Amino acid sequence: MKLFRLTLILALVAGLFTQCNDDMNENNVLKKADLPSGTYTVMVENVSVPYDFFEAGAKFIPDGAEAAGPAFPGHSFTFWFHAGPNHKLSFATMYGLSNDGFYAPGQGGISVYDGDFPATVSERDITSEIMLWDAGTQVNQMPGPDNPHSGADENGVVQLMAAVGDGYDYGSVATNLKATLYAHGNSLFSVTIEVLDASTTAISPVAWVVHSDGQMPIFTEGAADYDQGLEPLAETGNAGPLSEYLSMNSGYVSPVAPVLWVLHDKEDRPVFTEGTPDYGEGLETLAETGNPGPLYNSLMAAGYETGFQAMRTDGTGGPLFPGQKYMFTIEGHVGQSLSIASMLGASNDIFFSTGDKGIKLSYGEAEKDITHLIELYDAGTEVNEYPGAQTSADTEEGGTVHVLNDGLPWPEASQVIKVTITKN
């Protein structure tokens, strides 16, 4: 998987400092000693929002209905989402005829990819992975259509309804519900929760979230409700507050890989030429794994002043996560251009770049934000997947290097990276 490969390779380069080739090359006019020069500090920062979860939402309207409301026996809710092999799925829906009962998987969610699913089958029954829980927010009363829902505040903890011991009959999950997980390809899934004809209750609209392994986004068993929307869902069936909280804290997060830089003549295109295949000199490795080493070595061999930065400003090595920075110094000459390249970590072959021509170094401004000159490029070497899903497909593409335009919901470069150049 890409993130694993990125982490593994960066562990090997994390101890390397920015290097440059100081050897004279008689064919490289940029190294003439008589040209004016200046020293510049380049700052690269990951400015993306550090979302807690991957994707979230809610389904308010039962399948086939026209308005929001509960799903009664014989009806269902279906919701759609994206996920990768490292993701879990959590959701919650109220046991309608109770005080604060809700159906949900365990606190850590369900593994979306499990065994041969979805490689060899397109659907999976997940009913056995759903349980009836007590939110611990309201004292239970007899479940059923005559339930007055007037129980006193409980101030308890979230626990399995079977562990409460209130003596009431809620039926079993298997006699009330059937839940099926469907795989639709390219990291797209859906879940249908059917309320069986013999069910003892209706269920409410469903709040759901895709998250990392080890997270407990909706509740922790044996602990009090988080006060982030589970109580209104479990007591009244209102999935809005919980889904709003989960959605506000969900989104695409990507590391920024070590940054390669190269100084060159304005006519040169040392890293790539837009609209043509990768040169085969190391860009593919940088774009697919985050490792700038092969491209750096190729540029060195060609006589360019080049280097890469793998050390963060806090003294640690590796990719940049939200809030972290790289800083390095270059010495440029009049007439030179600067090109940079860095992998968008949670992708197959996408990288940040100043374009094939680079950008001209400025001598008139002490500090310049060049973020608007950075774009996301597709190396054309591996077929793209849904942003952040990162399965192990790794399908060779055989395409060309071009500005990213595959129609998938990638962020703008400026939503992830900020680049500033300061003249020293």
Rounded-to-integer distance, Cα 135 and Cα 154, Å: 9
Q: Residue 186's pLDDT is what?
A: 87
Q: Which stretches does DSSP call E strand in 27-175?
A: 37-46, 55-59, 76-82, 87-94, 101-104, 110-111, 123-125, 131-134, 159-160
Q: Residue 120's pLDDT is what?
A: 81
3-state per-residue secondary structure call for 266-296: CCCCCCCCCCCCCCCCCHHHHHHHCCCHHHH
The pLDDT tens digits along the chain (424 residues) read 454 445 434 444 444 433 334 433 444 443 444 556 788 999 999 999 999 999 999 999 999 999 999 999 999 999 999 999 999 999 999 999 999 999 999 999 999 999 888 988 899 999 999 999 999 999 999 999 999 999 999 999 999 999 999 999 999 999 999 999 999 998 999 999 999 999 999 999 999 999 999 999 999 999 999 999 999 999 999 999 999 999 999 999 999 999 999 999 999 999 999 999 999 999 999 999 999 999 999 999 999 999 999 999 999 999 999 999 999 999 987 679 999 999 999 999 999 999 999 999 876 667 789 999 999 999 999 999 999 998 877 789 999 999 999 999 999 999 999 999 998 8
Q: Which stretches does DSSP call E strand in 135-249?
A: 159-160, 177-185, 188-195, 206-212
What 3-state class would DSSP assign to 13?
Answer: helix
Amino acid identity at 33: A
Nearest to 282 by CA among 268, 271, 273, 274: 271
Q: Residue 394's pLDDT is what?
A: 76
Question: Where does residue 97 rank: exposed (0-12), middle (13-18), buried (19+ CB within 10 A)?
Answer: buried
Helix (DSSP H) and strand (DSSP E) numbers for the chain: 7, 22
Query: How many residues appear in the chain?
Result: 424
Rounded-to-integer distance, Cα 320 and Cα 9, Å: 14
Question: What class does CATH assign to 2-50+254-423?
Answer: mainly beta
List the Cα angle 229/174/198 in 5-degree steps.
95
Q: Residue 34's pLDDT is what?
A: 54
In 10 A of CB 366, how many CB atoms?
A: 9
Q: Residue 17's pLDDT is what?
A: 37
- Per-residue exposure over 113-124, b if at least 16 CB sit within 10 Å of its own CB, e if not: beeebbeeeeeb
Nearest to 423 by CA among 321, 331, 335: 331
What 3-state class would DSSP assign to 416?
Answer: coil
Give the neighbor-by-neighbor strand order of the sheet with 417-423.
325-333, 37-46, 417-423, 367-369
Could you tell me the two tokens for 151?
A: 């129980």
Q: Which residue has the tokens 């540029």?
A: 299
Contact 59, 75 (CB under 8 A): no
Amino acid identity at 363: Y
Rg (alpha carbons) of the chain, rounded to whole number: 27
Rounded-to-integer distance, Cα 385 and Cα 346, Å: 10
Residue 118: asked if its preceding bond is cis (omega within 30°), the reply is yes
Nearest to 395 by CA among 352, 348, 347: 348
Domain spans, the chain: 2-50+254-423, 55-248
Where residue 185 falls (left for φ over 0; alpha for ψ -120 to 50; beta otherwise) is left
